[in-house]
């Protein structure tokens, strides 16, 4: 069952709002990409890598919110989390890597932008330049994928997560953020069935998405149990 937790971290004054027209265009792009209504091409990857390479030197001082409420609240109330490695996709300058490392034994940071990854050198010990649309990660090998102000690549995310793995879906400015996608839309875009725990925190929002068995899997599981029950009864007779 989905769960909307009450807010406990208030939204302070002075929320930084991105220019509305640019934010609208990015949100539409993020939504269409997640829904599969538009493809991810090398053109888009090159454009974003170039854009974030340019922004990297001043990211922490001019673009970052300087707040960690949504990530902190997600880690405090969104668990329990499975034990195992966490992949931080679109990790940027690594502002949240250390915080993620308080909940997971290993955090690997992946970003398209070499310059963003360079800025993360002192914060993230494991950095890889890669595209989240084609992750260099084995199937089912991760306890968590953390996507903080990042685009959603549904099939890759579902592929690399272990069956009990979780997606931490975090928007630092909530619905005002340029890459905002409601948690329900993210769950609908992911293959399979996902349960959502979410809350608003500070200026933003967070959601933890967990895979749940769909109706067909539940039926299959029931049939296995029934068959096992029949075998036990036959053996007793
Ligand atoms: C808005 S920034 C957020 C950075 C960081 N998560 C934070 O909250 O400070 C988005 C980051 O995602 C990266 N990015 C965008 N598309 C990507 C992709 N397909 N694969 C990997 N990284 C990507 C960008 O280079 C950028 O560093």
Q: pLDDT by residue (tens digit) across 58-77?
A: 999 999 999 999 999 999 99
Separation of 110 CA from ligand 1 center, angstroms?
Answer: 8
CB atoms within 10 A of CB 84: 16
136 lies in a domain?
A: yes
Q: Is 170 in the pocket of ligand 1 (CB under 6 A)?
A: no
6 lies in a domain?
A: no
To test the pocket of ligand 1, the residue of 42, 109, 150, 174 to mutate (highest count of ligand atoms within 8 Å of its CB) is 150
- Residue 223: its pLDDT value, please? 62
CATH number assigned to the domain comprising residue 131: 3.40.50.150
74 lies in a domain?
A: yes
Q: What is the pTM of this model?
A: 0.92
* Nearest alpha carbon to residue 146 among 116, 120, 171, 117: 171
165 lies in a domain?
A: yes
Separation of 91 CA from ligand 1 center, angstroms?
Answer: 6
Q: Is 70 in the pocket of ligand 1 (CB under 6 A)?
A: no
Domain that holds residue 55: 16-236
Q: Is 173 in the pocket of ligand 1 (CB under 6 A)?
A: no
180 lies in a domain?
A: yes
70 lies in a domain?
A: yes
Q: How many domains does the chain have?
A: 1
The mean pLDDT value for 11-17 works out to: 96
Average pLDDT across the chain, whole number: 93
Give the single-character DSSP code of 84. S
4 lies in a domain?
A: no
pLDDT band at 233 (very low <50, low <70, confident <90, very high): very low
Give the single-character DSSP code of 105. S
């Amino acid at each position: 069952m989905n769960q909307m937790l009450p807010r406990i971290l208030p939204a302070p004054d002075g929320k930084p709002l991105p220019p509305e027209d640019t934010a609208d265009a990015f949100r539409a792009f993020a939504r269409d990409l997640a829904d599969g209504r538009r493809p991810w091409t090398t053109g888009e990857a090159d454009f974003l890598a170039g854009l974030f390479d340019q922004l990297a030197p001043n990211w922490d001082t001019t673009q970052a919110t300087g707040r960690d409420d949504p990530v902190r609240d997600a880690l405090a109330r969104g668990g329990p989390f499975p034990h195992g490695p966490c992949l931080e996709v679109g990790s940027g300058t690594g502002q949240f890597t250390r915080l993620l490392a308080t909940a997971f034994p290993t955090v690997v940071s992946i970003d398209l932008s070499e310059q963003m990854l360079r800025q993360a050198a002192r914060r993230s010990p494991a950095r890889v330049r890669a595209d989240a649309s084609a992750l260099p990660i084995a199937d089912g090998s991760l306890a968590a994928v953390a996507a903080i102000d990042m685009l959603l690549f549904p099939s890759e995310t579902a592929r690399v997560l272990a069956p009990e793995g979780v997606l931490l879906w975090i928007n630092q400015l909530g619905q005002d953020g340029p890459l905002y996608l409601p948690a329900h839309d993210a769950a609908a875009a992911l293959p399979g069935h996902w349960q959502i725990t979410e809350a608003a925190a500070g200026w933003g929002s967070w959601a933890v998405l967990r895979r749940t068995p769909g109706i067909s899997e539940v039926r299959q599981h029931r049939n296995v149990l029934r068959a096992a029950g029949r075998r036990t009864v036959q053996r007793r007779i």
